[in-house]
Structure 1
Amino acid sequence: MAGRELPQLTESTFSPDRTRLAAIEACHRAGLDPADMVLLRHQTNAVYQLSTAPVVVKVVRPGIRHTEDVVKLVWWLAEQHVPTVPLLDIEQPMHLAGCAVTLWRYLPQSQAVSAEDIARPLLSLHRLGPVPLELPQLDALGMIRHSIEASTIVSDVERTVLEEFLNDVAARLRLVETSEPRLIHGDPQHRNTLWDNDVQGAVLCDWESAAFGPVEWDLVTVEVHCRRFGFPPEEYDQFCERYGRDVREWSSYEVFKNLRELRMITTNARKSARGTPQAAEVHRRIAQLGENSNSRWFIL
């Protein structure tokens, strides 16, 4: 029954059985049938695909407060012809169970997205002029510190390792000169890019990390994902060729690489529950800090 009260979700209760209730309620309010809804992903956010309509429902993790700005951003990006997954043309976000819920058009995936495919929409984003919207400034150090403090799975020894690594990176970061802050995606990578058959090209999705910051953050994100998650080296080379820049040639690449990988480790340390495969992967990554930067990570 639409309009029912749902239990408020928290970081520790953000689980599939609870987020499904929020997604179902959002469907009812939008006049959609949630029968046989399929869970696609449940790590950063909960993402469900409807079986009865070409729609994806995203339940945003509690604590992410700027979803209204994300919705405004996506509408604006569409007006600027930046390739992005379209929102459903309804009033959103909805606020249910302490979470923001958004509804998107489902894009059937006829082919896998490569790093090369990410270059065009990302370059289109980075070339934008002034953005008439309120978005946060990129604060990687602050987010890492928050995640270290909030994690319930890291040991005292691991927490010390993370804090020492962060302090070292922060000291080196003070000497870095980046490009002027502009609109960045914040987390461009294969799983945040989809193939759109209508335009015969890739489009960006998952805009919750959008911020004003240096484009080097986006570029090193693509590089880290390609290197750590086992994509062929030539795939990243093709990205660089199409985008027109190889961030590995930047003098501060090593600092940003370490910062980005630490952000990925600590964010998952905050989101993962004890005793899960995700937690095991976090522990493995922490144990490897400062070692071979080409060692393979398992995607979460």
Structure 2
Amino acid sequence: MRPGEASGKWDMADEVESLADVCRQAGLACDGARLLRVHANAIYHLPRENAVARVRNAAAFERMRSAVQTAAWLADQGFPALRPLEVAQPVVVGAHLVTFWEYLPPLDGRQADVTHLAGLLRALHRHPLPPFPLPSIRPVGNTAADASASTVLSEGERSWLIARCAELEEGFVRLAPTLSQGIVHGDAHTNNLLPHPTHGWVLIDWDSVGVGPPEYDFMPIYLRPRRFGYPHSLWREFRTAYGFDPAGNSGLDLLAEIREVRSLSAFIRGAEHNPAARTELSNRLSSLMAGDHVRRWHAL
């Protein structure tokens, strides 16, 4: 995982009884554990294990079990996926769940670009399906459930978002049969690439992996010019490196709208403890509710 200082104090420690207990269950040492980041997950560096621990809600157990199993299988097949540790996982502690992954430090200041991402995605989308069941991707993920459980959304925001999720899910059901299917990462952007001494770059964060249309993985880059102020050439560079011709693909706009709504999920969870996440959640949600397709969004 990418190291970096956590922004703000991790104030959800009461939701995890003890990181030491979690590591003990997994047979790992947590001496010197350091919090790296808090957003949708809390991520700790475990220096004695050369590993990271990712903490999230226990409701994601089946999804995280699939993430661990798929990433391990892909890595064994030679695909550049971040490898989970070979321990029994996920580990459930109270209302939370923990997975353990190889730790990769940054190398010589390099940063991934969209051509690196395009190459990995092209290989992933052409990879044979695993010999175990892989769930279909969930277009808007946990967004509706997160909205239902949120204490930061107003009733009007909650109702609008839940209804919008249902509408987009129905649209995806109609669209999906017209597109090809394969292994889909589910959250494919350059921040989910890490430098690796052997592979060059590896894909991390397999929480949303499943079977679906490859175009679903294009959306983080497709939206960067529109929402984050990147040059429009970025999308052209990506699709050229991937070998994707958007001509005649009428589903891109729907997939973009799905991605925009899905992006709210992490901010809904993060807003419970992070003021910056709450501010950005308000910015994104109000723009969607107003039908504003060009307002600038900000990454955390």
TM-score for both structures, normalised by structure 1: 0.82
Task: Name structure 1 gaps, 5 residues minimum.
Answer: 1-13
Asked if residue 68 in structure 1 is aligned to residue 75 in structure 2, the reply is no
Task: Report the CA distance between 1:292 and its aligned residue.
Answer: 4.3
Between the aligned partners of 1:204 and 1:198, the Cα distance in structure 2 is 13
Q: What is residue 95 of structure 1 aligned with on the other side? A: 92
Give the match's secondary structure for 1:58: strand
Asked if residue 47 in structure 1 is aligned to residue 71 in structure 2, the reply is no
Stretches of 4+ aligned residues off by more than 6 angstroms: none
Q: Which moved more, 1:20-29 or 1:234-243?
A: 20-29
Per-residue CA distance 1:124-146 (angstroms, 9 max, x = gap): 11111232122322232573332
Alignment of 1:211-222 (within 5 A): 211-222=210-221
Q: Amino acid of the residue matched to residue 96 of structure 1?
A: V
Q: What is residue 256 of structure 2 aligned with on the other side? A: 257
Q: Amino acid of the residue matched to residue 92 of structure 2?
A: H
Per-residue CA distance 1:60-114 (angstroms, 9 max, x = gap): 3221022333222122101222111122233333333343322222111121222
Change (3 A) 1:24 1:114: farther
Between the aligned partners of 1:167 and 1:18, the Cα distance in structure 2 is 33
Between the aligned partners of 2:141 and 2:101, the Cα distance in structure 1 is 30
Between the aligned partners of 1:33 and 1:68, the Cα distance in structure 2 is 22
Q: What is residue 119 of structure 1 aligned with on the other side? A: 118
Asked if residue 198 in structure 1 is aligned to residue 198 in structure 2, the reply is yes
Equivalent of residue 109 in structure 1, options 102, 106, 110: 106
Q: What is residue 147 of structure 2 aligned with on the other side? A: 148
Task: Name structure 2 gaps, 5 residues minimum.
Answer: 1-9
Q: What is residue 273 of structure 1 aligned with on the other side? A: 272
Per-residue CA distance 1:23-74 (angstroms, 9 max, x = gap): 3333345555433322222222221113445221112322102233322212
Between the aligned partners of 2:93 and 2:103, the Cα distance in structure 1 is 21
Asked if residue 59 in structure 1 is aligned to residue 55 in structure 2, the reply is yes
Q: Amino acid of the residue matched to residue 214 of structure 2?
A: V
Q: What is residue 10 of structure 1 aligned with on the other side? A: none
Q: Which moved more, 1:226-235 or 1:64-73?
A: 226-235
Between the aligned partners of 2:273 and 2:22, the Cα distance in structure 1 is 30
Between the aligned partners of 2:160 and 2:83, the Cα distance in structure 1 is 41
Per-residue CA distance 1:195-227 (angstroms, 9 max, x = gap): 21332x221111111111111211123323564
Change (3 A) 1:30 1:261: same
Q: Which moved more, 1:17-26 or 1:95-104?
A: 17-26
Q: What is residue 135 of structure 2 aligned with on the other side? A: 136
Between the aligned partners of 2:30 and 2:92, the Cα distance in structure 1 is 18
Give the match's secondary structure for 2:131: coil
TM-score for both structures, normalised by structure 2: 0.82
Q: What is residue 189 of structure 1 aligned with on the other side? A: 189
Equivalent of residue 78 in structure 1, options 55, 69, 75: 75
Change (3 A) 1:249 1:75: same
RMSD: 2.9
Alignment of 1:230-241 (within 5 A): 230-241=229-240
Task: Report the CA distance between 1:280 and its aligned residue.
Answer: 1.7
Q: How many residues align?
A: 286
Between the aligned partners of 1:160 and 1:30, the Cα distance in structure 2 is 40
Give the match's secondary structure for 1:60: strand
Q: What is residue 37 of structure 1 aligned with on the other side? A: 33
Contact 1:114–1:235 under 8 Å retained in 2:
no
Change (3 A) 1:142 1:235: closer
Between the aligned partners of 1:64 and 1:294, the Cα distance in structure 2 is 32
Give the match's secondary structure for 2:285: helix
Change (3 A) 1:64 1:129: same
Contact 1:116–1:242 under 8 Å retained in 2:
yes
